[in-house]
Structure 1
Amino acid sequence: MTTHAFLHSQQTKRHWGGPVVGGFFLSMGGVHLGIATSDPSTYQHFADDALFAFVRDGWQDVFMAHPTFFGLLLMAAETTAGILLLLGGRFATVGWAAVAVFHVLLGLFSFGIWVWCVPALVLIGYLARRDTTTRWGRARHLGGGDVRPVQLRSAAAPR
């Protein structure tokens, strides 16, 4: 390994944000697995204070028509977002977008949920920009410009 490649690998050590948020979403997927399989009626009143009638009506008419199915679908989405963040790289880029969209949509359910969603979105943006496994994170971390993978040269290779 050349000195440059060693320094590059040290500079791009993964930021803690992706694994922490990914682990959180994995655990929340587990929570929804428990709710959906044990007592799906727990979801019944979640949308009662929704900001728009279509959210309240849609929740009751669609989600609560089959709460176990949709609870498991919610579990699958959160678990997938968590796994994507844990994988890093291009997968993390999709994971960060999924986590952000999840929180924007969650904000439709009430102003009270904004107490969680708004700070969470700020934190998600902050942590996503520092995720050194994503293209934008590497560019920011290494000083901008086009970021290409480091190619290792053996000691015997001509220069």
Structure 2
Amino acid sequence: MSAGPTEPEQRPGRLRPTSAGAITAWSVVGLLGGWLVHAVVDRTGGTPPVVTWAQPLALLLVAAILGATAYLTWRAVHVHETRLDPQQAVNRLVLARACALVGALMAGGYLGYALSWLGVDTDLADQRLWRSLVAAAAGAAIVVTALLLERACRVRSDEDPP
């Protein structure tokens, strides 16, 4: 006799993949934050930050490292069919989830900052716009490679259909 709704039965030791809702929420928070940076700095009389090539290149480096880790993990688990050490698997899953959420935040933040420069006629507006768009794309690459790493860590259990 249960008064509340029944919850679906979950098997112990299972993690759900990072949800699209969580990634979207972090992206929206980043979008608003990036857009607010320009507005707040203008209102306080400061100078808005300049986006150098170092920021998108650093994000691309993180995406490349995640992509390489995803590929090596996928190869080890699915091609060579070796088992990862449990601690190593958990570390990679935590890394993947954290990078997916932070990558979404960064992509949204840089996109919001880029959008805040649309229609602004100042010396560095175009530079800030284009470099921010490149950084936003690099943040999106982090999200994609992090989700690939998360997917590479999946192993079939004996109960799963082939």
Instruction: Give the TM-score taking structure 2 as reference length.
Output: 0.29
Instruction: Give the TM-score taking structure 1 as reference length.
Output: 0.29
Higher relative contact order (CA 8 A, sep 6+): 2
Larger helix fraction of residues: 1
